[in-house]
Amino acid sequence: MAIKGLLERFKKGLAKTAQLFNVRSWFGRKVDQEFLDELESRLIQADVGVVATAQIIKSVREAYADQTADEELVEFVKNQLKELLHDPRPDVLTVAAKKPSVYLIAGVNGSGKTTSIAKLAQRLRDQGNSIVLAACDTFRAAAADQLSIWAERAGCEIVRGAPGADPASVAHDACQRALARSTDVLIVDTAGRLHTQTHLMRELEKIKSVIQRQIPGSPHEVLLVLDGGNGQNAIRQAEMFTKAIGCTGVILTKLDGTAKGGVVVAVRQTMKLPVKFIGVGEAIDDLQPFDADTFVESLFT
Ligand SMILES: Nc1nc2c(ncn2[C@@H]2O[C@H](COP(=O)(O)OP(=O)(O)OP(=O)(O)O)[C@@H](O)[C@H]2O)c(=O)[nH]1
């Protein structure tokens, strides 16, 4: 998508967080303690995180104390955020040298996991890839049903087991199917809730090790889906999942419904995980590859 189109998409999706900053209201104000306190409180409300906020406030104080806030100050804050978000790793998904590329998707129920998988599948399909979806959430029968509907719409194949089947065996079958058909991409959906958190983490570990055994070098990405509206709570989830299955990136959903869009910074800073995609709406094309510069520009308009 052209940069301008992407910026418009981001702006629309992130309007709630942008409203919080309302940079036009800064202009002409003196950068005194009151101004800094207000900026600090807005960054915290946007869930940028305490550490990053303190860092930004300190830099603004040092560079602009007692000056008048203007366009240059806005650029300064933008650059601070861009630097905090800078990630040397590529923001695109890793593609396997030998088919299939395997993407394991995790996240708690309600985070937007199923819809994100559907959106991702559609995106990869539009780019010309053949796709197999593995419905490994056998705990909730409705999950596989929902995924099947999306799979059909996106023209993907789905592998599912009987309700209550061993999710690792579904993962195994899906790997075999993808290998046999020489499929480009295998996307593995997993449960978001089990009897206990320990059960859930053990199951995810097991699915991952089955995939690793079937397709050496995989999974090529372990993506964690987090609800952006959960703000700092999302960070705690990220810690738990990363410990169990070593996430490689995050899909941050529902940013359109929240003023906590700054959590993108917190995920990058605290978890050292790149945000690969953001969800900015319910439509199929509302999953956008994350771009730090466009993200920051769209918050300060
Ligand atoms: N506004 C908005 N809604 C979203 C976004 N992503 C997902 N949703 C909605 O969030 C709700 C939950 O999404 P699901 O994909 O069903 O979530 P899940 O994590 O798979 O949860 P379960 O289906 O309960 O396992 C749905 O109504 C989605 O349409 C987004 O980026 N923006």
pLDDT digits (tens, 9 = 90+) for 218-253: 999 999 999 998 877 888 888 989 999 999 999 999
Check if 284 has its Cβ closer than 6 Å to any atom of ligand 1. Answer: no
* Minimal-distance CA residue to ligand 1 atom 25: 109
Sign of CA dihedral 250, 256, 260, 265: positive
- Residue 219 CA to ligand 1 center (angstroms) comes to 24
Provide the pLDDT for residue 65. 93
Mean pLDDT for the stretch of residues 114-122: 93
Residues belonging to the binding site for GTP are 107-114, 189-193, 253-256
Provide the pLDDT for residue 163. 83
- Residue 279 CA to ligand 1 center (angstroms) comes to 9
Mean of pLDDT over the chain: 91
Cα–Cα distance, 104 to 81 (Å, whole number): 29
- Residue 45 CA to ligand 1 center (angstroms) comes to 23
User: CB burial class (10 A; 0-12, 13-18, 19+) of residue 34?
Assistant: exposed
C-alpha dihedral over 115, 119, 122, 128, to 10 degrees? -140
Check if 119 has its Cβ closer than 6 Å to any atom of ligand 1. Answer: no
pLDDT in tens, 148-193: 998 998 899 999 988 889 999 999 999 999 999 999 999 999 988 8
Cα–Cα distance, 60 to 4 (Å, whole number): 29
Check if 256 has its Cβ closer than 6 Å to any atom of ligand 1. Answer: yes
* Minimal-distance CA residue to ligand 1 atom 30: 254
Mean pLDDT for the stretch of residues 114-121: 94
Provide the pLDDT for residue 2. 59
* Minimal-distance CA residue to ligand 1 atom 13: 112
